Chains A and B, each alone.
Chain A
Amino acid sequence: MKAVIDWLDDRSGFRTLIKEALYEKVPGGARWRYVWGSCLTFAFFAQVVTGTLLWMFYSPSTQTAWESVYFLQYHVWGGWFLRGIHHYMAQAMVVLLVLHLMQVVIDGAYKAPRELNFWFGIALMGVTLGLSLTGYLLPWDQKGYWATAVATNLIAEVPLVGVYLQKLVIGGTEYGHHTVTRFFALHAGVLPSALIALVVGHIYLFRRHGIHAKEPRPKRDSYFWPDQVLKDAVACLAVALAVIVLTIYFHGAPLGPPADPANEFPARPEWYFLFLFQLLKYVPAFWGAIIIPAFVVLLMFAQPFIGKSEKGHRFNIGFLWCLLIGAGALTFLAFSEDRANKKHFAAVEEADWLSKRVVEIADKQGIPPSGAVTLLREDHENRARRLFSSNCASCHLYNGHDGRGFPVDSNQSAPDLAGVASREWLEELLDYDHYVSTKYFGGTAFKDGKMATKVLKKFDEKEKALVPKVAALLSDIAGLPYQKPLSEKDKEEGFDVFFDDLVCIDCHDIEDEGEGSAPDLTGYGSRDWLTAIVGDPSHERFYGKDNDRMPSFARDEKLTDEEIGILVDWLRSKPSTNSEVR
């Protein structure tokens, strides 16, 4: 064995190389404050390894990017873990970058003769942020798509060449296949190569000038190996453990619903870019994305010269603290504004629902070659929520929201339709106080109609006690998929109340009996009945000329029969309570 190693050493001289690498002098002894550079190198190494492994699963195109990530996340053994490590290590890198930069500036390690190396460091920071930005788009989910679109729109702000630069980056004028292929080439090829080249230069220059010892020196000088290496390795291990904990705690990296240019999404960048996002609310894009960052970077490049005097050094430290505190404050503002924004909250909730929904459908029926986004576009529940939101929610609510979970700006004027025709819904409706409340008919002409003023208001206690029986009967006629049918006895009782005790039959027909003028309750709440009333509420069978503002969706061709069917099926399904917005 020794002979082989001797031979290798003779031919390569690797012992000298190792010796040189390991027996670097550490003036003042090994210290924890020197670990950040090693941690960053380790983090980058981990990103290269996990990134290459991810590469084995990733397929860069608009119809396969999300899909391949979905497959890795949900169907490959340990795929979620691999992706999670890569995702959270990227975030750790940003934190480590800041720590490294602060340590270097506070310790004065950026001053002559280390100016050049400080600039290498700034360039490395830029490349790392570029890697974060390009990586964010690759899963091609709504979040990455909409947030990155903002970033690439900012490229156009670059003077003179901005528009061309933007086209070059996104591979055309619109996001498409070439955006994914280019971002992938940048993320997995161009930027890592640049980073490796810069790191080599950075470490070479670092070795050339040696460690800049922070005074006072606590101990006598020692060597890189093993004292400092141990501290470095322990710090790296701590980073790795933190990343593992984050990955397990959040069960890997998030994957939003597949990118859909036709459906809005609350675009937010990754948390460490939020300060820039927030800044753009206050200043014009050109200032926020070009002038201010350019000024900051230029000033950082000048720091080694500013730092020549003690005052300048203190300015440099103060400047970076201000930058950090400013970015921190902007980040805080961004978070708290979002938290106070009910619409944003609803949009995030909806995105969560959509991402679960699409996975549910994809697991069950597979993804067609046209991509997963078509699964959501064709999904009846998703379509129903959207149809309700755009066609019904200007008057009706659904569990207090617009059907998709968003709060509604204007006042509700027609009944809340969550659980329509269910027993509970009918019992409330047939209670006078509820009937005239905005949750039911309070916003309509029916508030002062015969049913309200002449019937429900006049009910005595005995009559009120009979209302649940009618509610049960009508709900049974509706035959909602989530309600149990009535027994024959209860049904008979219900009819007795309908005909004899409360004499509803005076105005409302039921099971084709009666000649009343109020809405015909034959087949009440059934698919056919609801389809018919949505289609034409002004029909004699329903409100006739008493109809209060409700459009005739089928008669006037506002919705197709298929769309009305999808809506009605959804209204007849069990209302979900989790998306209730207060």
Chain B
Amino acid sequence: MKTDRSLLLQVLAALVFLALWEILPRAGIVDPLFIPPFSGVAGALRDLYASGELATHTRISLIRAGVGLLAAVLVGLPLGLLLGGWFPRLQTATEPLMELFAQANPVILAHIIIFFLGIGEVAKTFIIAWLCIWPVVFSTITGIRTVDASLLKAARSLGLGRWSLFTSVVLPGAAPSIFTGLRLSAGYAFIMLVASEMMGGSNGIGWLIVQSQESYHVTRIFAGATVITLLAVLADLLLKLIERLLVVWEVEENQDYLKLKKQVPEER
């Protein structure tokens, strides 16, 4: 429904933002020491790219976030399906516990996690995975719970067995909600990625930012922040694209921010 005109306006707005970012520090309206102009940040990005650091740190951060998300899919999705679909009583019994677990900020638990897993890659991945699992679990349960009852009844009366009922009615019905949870997880993954890399380690974009702060490389801080933002936006777009390819029956709404937050009970 997006017209060319509004697209043009949106591009224009982004360009104005970049122009202000360039002009304000150059004109001395904001201190260029604190907010370097856009071209300076782009230069820092180019240098990082040329020295190969950017590729290394980005790859490491992406792997950490990816493994965390993968764990969320491999653990969270089956858990949500089992609890939401097969064991409603068990779900009732475990829900408060899971809500408390979801409330358990992995950064707070970082020191405890370090007791058991050390400070290596495993601990970092665990922190991200822990955070990513819960939105997927909760949104899967909600998705299954809110599958259209008349669809279920119709399928039943047509004589569908348990398994085919599950694969061809319940799962497609819950898919939009599951994807909502996944996108929320991806957002969390990138936020916590930086936090966990700030807590220790020797690589990754988060580490790059901390290290630049300690050596007052302000342009590098902005460069790191830009890269992380772009990665998070790209991951969100990618998940949206996958959703649109897989979930063709759901009408895309324009107000997806509201939709996104509304359906996930973890955010209640």
A and B part of one assembly = no
